Chains A and B, each alone.
Chain A
């Protein structure tokens, strides 16, 4: 079945540090890939997405590239801010599903001033 594995947290960085959160997946067909973010006390919101191999999703300084050969979708940001502190979830929708997203377990990021 479909699965998403993301690096375990928590991750603690200083402001302006470089961020990478690893995400790899197993899926049937050609999945669409997503990163969601959950700020404290809130629901999840879409951060970025990619729907085919070699696509790069980007938003708010975050980027992730859909790598089919390594089945990966790693999240990166060049310079994190305190306001980026949140839980980040990698997710996929497999080619065989019209509806269902499968999520990773989430990675807690804390950015200190």
Chain B
């Protein structure tokens, strides 16, 4: 069974802390994505990666960075967390050359106090 695993389902952090969200996929997919999900706003793309060490900004990259050192792992980093980054974060992956179907993890709900 294909799987995208996000390391933490729930996190509570303080303003100014550095936050790491980890995502691992076991499908050998080339593409990986980080979205945030907010009520009334749907899903918004933060960053995506189409290969190891490659990354591109999505629609809302400000305040975030990413790292992809291995094909199966894609990390989202909040250098200095702020309260407006309280959200649900969703990781996804897809195979290049496919119809574009994304496979999602279960999400990480981050609260910044």
Contact = CB atoms under 8 A, between A and B. Distances in A.
Contacts of A43: 4, 90, 104-107
A32 B41 contact: no
A42 B50 contact: no
B102 interface: yes
B43 A98 contact: no
Contact of A98 (B33, B50, B90): B50
A51 interface: yes
Interface in A71-113: 89, 93, 97-101, 103-106
A98 B96 contact: yes
Interface residues of B, number: 26
B100 to A, nearest CB: 4
A51 B64 CA distance: 32
B42 A99 contact: no
A44 B42 CA distance: 12
B42 A93 contact: no
Contacts of B42: 89, 103-106
B45 A45 contact: no
A32 B101 CA distance: 9
Interface residues of A, number: 22
A93 B94 CA distance: 12
Q: Which of A41, A42, A99, A101 has the most CB of B within 10 A?
A: A99
B25 interface: no
A109 to B, nearest CB: 15
A17 interface: no
Contacts of B99: 32, 49, 51, 93
14 contacts: A32-B99, A43-B4, A45-B104, A46-B101, A46-B102, A46-B103, A93-B99, A97-B100, A98-B31, A98-B50, A99-B96, A100-B45, A103-B42, A103-B43
Interface of A: 32, 34, 36, 41-46, 49, 51, 89, 93, 97-101, 103-106
